[in-house]
Amino acid sequence: MTQTNSAMERILLGDNQFFGVNHMSEEKARAQSIRFQDDRSIIEVLDIAYDAGIRVFMCTTHERVAAICDHVRGNPERYKDFQFFPCMPYAHKYADAVTEHGMIGALKRFLPEQGALNALFKGGMSVATKDMEGIAQLLIDAEMKMFAGLSTPVIFLQNVVTDLLLGLGFGTAFRMFADHVIQRYGAEPGFITMNMPHLLDVLEEVGISNPIICANINKIGFRMCGGVKRYEETIATRNFRPVAMSVLASGAIPPREAIAYVCGQRAIRSIVFGASSRANIVETKRLIDEMSYGG
Amino acid sequence: MIRLALIGLGKMGISHLAIVNSHPDVRLVAVCDTNAYVSSTLNKYTGIKVFTDYRQVLAAGNLDAVIIATPPRFHGEMVRAALDQHLHVFCEKPFCLNADEGAELAALAKDRGLVNQVGYHCRFVGAFKEAKRLVTAGTLGRVHHVRAESYGPVVLRPKGASWRAQRTEGGGCLYDYASHAIDLVTYLVGTPDRVSGTVLNRIFSQDVEDEVYTTLYFPDGMTGQLSSNWSDESYRKLSTKMTIWGTNGRLTVDRQEVQLFLRDNVVGNPALKLGWNVLYTTELTDEVWYYLRGEEYSAQIDHFIRCIETKQTETISSFASAVETDQIVSMIVEDSGVARNSATKRGPHQERAVPRKKGIFRRVRALLA
């Protein structure tokens, strides 16, 4: 399979900070949850980033993102160049449902119950025949509903699901995801992982060439399975489009040093970071620009 | 290569499956789940050999080890069957609903020289490991009080059909959530020999408690408090936190960080200083070969495999240590009855998870109604 090789934006704004995800401190995570409990406060940060030239919001399909989508849809002029890179699924939603309803009960809950008859039929048939491709397509469509009418040039599979499928040896699922994202949404598939070198091998095996892979890439090797050296070699020598996340390793590395490390690896296409204040957003953008293009 | 089978394809089972399946020293021989739909779908897409009866898997005779990740009610029977086949066993938590049965199985595994482990994964979290190291080194001086807490969003509505909603299956906040905090108590500071003032309250559940509170008493005079609530969605996921007070300071630890306040002396690590010290997960976490949801899940399986390879039967989270947790759970259940009977005053809205016997007055009123 050959995929389009469109130019990806250099800097992407992530969403962990909005939804109380912080790998360093529960207290900090809670403070962020409180700060961002109004959608308005998230939009204010997105506006700061957008005005600073960061046009991509890489976000989970958290239910609160739906309100952000509504806002962007409602102001097409203001957000003319705004792009979403959805990351699906919001895994806690599914994990909690499995805890509460068991495996099959959870699956039933997320397949469409009403609406288009064919979805109902397709869902029922897919479950009956154990047709994972059919089920996966319905789940992807359900997650994508909130982005209707918006620009979503890259659609990511979240790391919990990517890495679970990788571990199970269910590589064909990546192909199912990629095919549906390309055919139904005209988008490029992306894969988030904590196991980048291994994932790249498997994606190539199932015929996904030059894939977009988002992984932790940081100087101290935090959550980089295979180790820093293997990551550096893979990035330098193999054909894929790396997106670096957790560049600061949740704050363990000072910003200038952290960004210098990532920008020093020329094959890295994009950098995703989460920030909440104008000062941090503008400074991080400035550092990446300076080290990517010489300021 | 360790030849391994896995029984139970629920949330933890699937997660363990992905981890063992990618472990370089493991050959996954078969998996088993009574739900033929789940197991045959897995077979269709991954080619993994599947069974619906665990006895068939154990009888195959070509195994070294088994992972048991079924609902807790089945643990006792399955663990015994596996030990009878001379297999090394990793069993999900809680270990056994009957602590005496658990003790018997721990003794059996020891007698046979088999590696035995229970899935209390917090023992493999970098921050909790560091806390253990500091407490053992005497950093806090004489420890006199511990607070063990676990909160999270499991039951948020008055419904739920899975085994977690049924006491007889091993469901409830005590077995599912509080057990992690209790296990960390035994791991970090030792085992209480008495509990008192237990509260097991329902909030939304019909058959099980949603919150657990009790006071722990240790043989050396140390005390502790346990507080657990699985109906708290202000926590994004299970959050377990321990606070330990000693004569030389205080330590607070969760899966992200260790916060340590030292009063007089620096013991256990020359890099520490008087006053506040904060150690983060990024510096405390060892790399794993494969990551899914948290390093600790991979690390505990890797520990199990390494122990088999090196014939080391004392694991970091052994049957014996899990039995201690089960015994504390039993004491808490027993005390909830005692506490109920001795309580002198109770608010009008409190409900008890353990059904109360009707008093004479209530029975008469019920007859007249």
CATH of the domain at B33: 3.40.50.720
Residue B117 shares a structural domain with residue B247: no
Residue B141 shares a structural domain with residue B72: no
* Among candidates A160, A166, A221 on the partner chain, residue whose Cβ is nearest the Cβ of B287: A221
Residue A174 within a domain: yes
> Which residue has better confidence, A27 or A88?
A88
Residue B303 shares a structural domain with residue B280: no
Q: How far is B287 from chain A (nearest CA, A)?
A: 7
Nearest to B144 by CA among B251, B29, B45, B21: B251
Structural domain harbouring B46: 2-121+294-318
> Which residue has better confidence, A248 or A105?
A248
Residue A30 within a domain: yes
- Residue that terminates a domain, selected from B284, B304, B330: B284
Preceding amide of B94 cis, omega within 30: yes
* Among candidates A95, A164, A221 on the partner chain, residue whose Cβ is nearest the Cβ of B292: A164
Interface contact flag, A195 B287, Cβ < 8 Å: no
Report how many Cβ contacts below 8 Å link chain A to chain B.
Answer: 123
Interface contact flag, B45 A173, Cβ < 8 Å: yes
Residue A97 within a domain: yes
CATH of the domain at A107: 3.20.20.100
Contacts of A195 in chain B (CB under 8 A): 290-291
State pTM to two decimals: 0.89
Residue B148 within a domain: yes
Residue B142 shares a structural domain with residue B253: yes
Interface contact flag, A103 B281, Cβ < 8 Å: no
Contacts of B256 in chain A (CB under 8 A): 22-26
Contact status, residue B224 vs residue B218, Cβ threshold 8 Å: yes
The pLDDT assigned to A250 comes to: 82
Q: State the best of A223, A224, A246, A250 to mutate against chain B, taking most chain B CBs within 10 Å.
A: A223
Residue B114 shares a structural domain with residue B172: no
pLDDT in tens, chain B (369 residues): 999 999 999 989 999 999 999 999 999 999 999 988 888 889 988 999 999 999 999 987 799 999 999 999 999 999 999 999 999 999 999 999 999 999 999 999 999 999 999 999 999 999 999 999 999 999 999 999 999 999 999 888 886 667 777 777 778 999 999 999 999 999 999 999 999 999 999 999 988 999 999 999 999 999 999 999 999 999 888 999 999 999 999 999 999 999 999 999 888 888 899 999 999 988 898 999 999 989 999 999 999 999 999 999 999 999 999 999 999 999 999 999 866 666 544 444 444 454 444 344 444 444 444
Contact status, residue A181 vs residue A189, Cβ threshold 8 Å: yes
Residue A3 within a domain: no
Residue B136 shares a structural domain with residue B100: no
Interface contact flag, B280 A25, Cβ < 8 Å: yes
Helix (H/G/I), strand (E/B), else coil: B145:
strand
Q: How far is A102 from chain B (nearest CA, A)?
A: 6
The pLDDT assigned to A110 comes to: 66
Choice among A73-77, A210-214, A238-242, A251-255 with the minimum mean pLDDT = A251-255
The pLDDT assigned to A246 comes to: 95
The pLDDT assigned to A104 comes to: 67
Structural domain harbouring A241: 11-293
Residue B48 shares a structural domain with residue B111: yes
Residue of A nearest to B17 (CA): A168
* Among candidates A102, A163, A222 on the partner chain, residue whose Cβ is nearest the Cβ of B162: A102
Residue A264 within a domain: yes
Residue B156 shares a structural domain with residue B304: no
CATH of the domain at B246: 3.30.360.10
Residue B32 shares a structural domain with residue B134: no
Choice among A79-93, A237-251, B95-109, B157-171 with the minimum mean pLDDT = B157-171
> Which residue has better confidence, B338 or A287?
A287
Residue A216 within a domain: yes
ipTM passes above 0.95: no
Res. A20: pLDDT tops 90: no
The pLDDT assigned to A117 comes to: 47
* Among candidates B17, B239, B254 on the partner chain, residue whose Cβ is nearest the Cβ of A168: B17
Torsion of CA B224, B228, B234, B237, to 10 degrees: 110
Residue B66 within a domain: yes
Residue B263 shares a structural domain with residue B127: yes
Residue B241 shares a structural domain with residue B179: yes
**pLDDT confidence tier of residue A294, bands split at 50, 70 and 90:** low
Contacts of A172 in chain B (CB under 8 A): 45
Q: How far is A81 from chain B (nearest CA, A)?
A: 33
- β strands within chain B, DSSP E: 2-7, 26-32, 50-51, 65-68, 88-91, 116-118, 143-151, 194-201, 211-217, 223-229, 239-246, 249-253, 257-262, 275-280
Contacts of B349 (CB under 8 A, 6+ apart): none
Contacts of A170 in chain B (CB under 8 A): 45-46
The pLDDT assigned to B347 comes to: 41
Backbone dihedral region of B171: left (phi > 0), alpha (psi from -120 to 50 degrees) or beta?
A: beta
Contacts of A221 in chain B (CB under 8 A): 287
Choice among A119-133, A262-276, B236-250, B354-368 with the minimum mean pLDDT = B354-368
Interface contact flag, B236 A163, Cβ < 8 Å: no
Place of tokens 């909790």: B128
* Among candidates B37, B236, B295 on the partner chain, residue whose Cβ is nearest the Cβ of A104: B37
Number of folded domains that form chain A: 1
Residue B334 within a domain: no
The pLDDT assigned to B265 comes to: 86
Residue A196 within a domain: yes
**pLDDT confidence tier of residue A124, bands split at 50, 70 and 90:** low
Choice among A25-34, A272-281, B144-153 with the minimum mean pLDDT = A25-34
Residue B78 shares a structural domain with residue B186: no
Residue A258 within a domain: yes
Interface contact flag, A21 B283, Cβ < 8 Å: no
Residue B329 within a domain: no
Q: State the best of A37, A96, A165 to mutate against chain B, taking most chain B CBs within 10 Å.
A: A96
Res. A99: pLDDT tops 70: no
The mean per-residue pLDDT over the stretch A135-141 comes to 88
The pLDDT assigned to B91 comes to: 98
Interface contact flag, B10 A160, Cβ < 8 Å: no
- Residue that terminates a domain, selected from B284, B308, B337: B284
Q: State pLDDT tens for residues A141-160.
A: 989 999 999 999 999 999 99
Contacts of B26 in chain A (CB under 8 A): none
Interface contact flag, B21 A132, Cβ < 8 Å: no
Number of folded domains that form chain B: 2
Interface contact flag, B17 A167, Cβ < 8 Å: yes
Give A56's strand partners.
Answer: A12, A83
Residue B240 within a domain: yes
The pLDDT assigned to B54 comes to: 96
